[in-house]
Structure formats: C-alpha cells, structure tokens
Amino acid sequence: MPASKSKEASSEAAALGKTRQHTGDGALIVLSGPSGVGKGTVVARVLGDVAGLTRSVSVTTRKLRMAEQEGVDYFFTDRESFEQMKERGHFIESAEFAGNYYGTPR
C-alpha cells in the first residue's frame, strides 16, 4: 500500500474511535439486511459514535416477538390500520415482505 494510502487508512481508523458530529440536514440512512445479520449492532454503534442522529422506529403488521417492545423495536399494527396510514401519506416508504407490511413513518 502506498504511504499516502496507509496514512489515510490510519486516520480513518483513528477517527472511528472518536465521536463524530452529524452535519447533514434531513439525511436518511437506510440499513438493510436479512434477519440476524447484526443490523441492530451496527445501528447501536453508529448512534453511539455520531452525535445528532436518531433512530427511526418502523411500523409493521407482523406479530410482536419475544423480547421486542412496542415503540422501541417497531410500532405493531394490523393490516387495515397500516393501509389507512399508507393512504394518508403517513410513510416515507413502505413495502410488503413475507406477508407483512413495513413502513418508515414521516
């Protein structure tokens, strides 16, 4: 690796350990992946490292799982209520996956 690349990599690695200030306005970061791959771990790390970010809590029609909390992990609702929220423009985006609806509230 060239010396300049090595210095850049070292600077980036050092910066990962420091708290960074979010400077964007209205930025949306989407983290997507299959169940169990560590999305929650990544989100927790980023929220801990970057000041000014907040976590969006999605709405879903799937059933509450053990150890999940309403309003923390998801907002749980039924299909009819979800469809009404969607019609009213409540979501930035929404999708159906594995027979359940998921949406990101505005």
Strands 59-60 and 50-51: unpaired
What's the count of helices (H) and strands (E) in the chain, helices before strands?
Answer: 3, 6
pLDDT in tens, 5-63: 444 444 443 444 444 555 556 777 888 888 889 998 999 999 999 988 888 899 999 99
> What tokens appear for 44 in the block?
């927790």
pLDDT in tens, 66-95: 999 999 999 999 999 999 999 999 999 999
Q: Is the pTM of this model over 0.85?
A: no
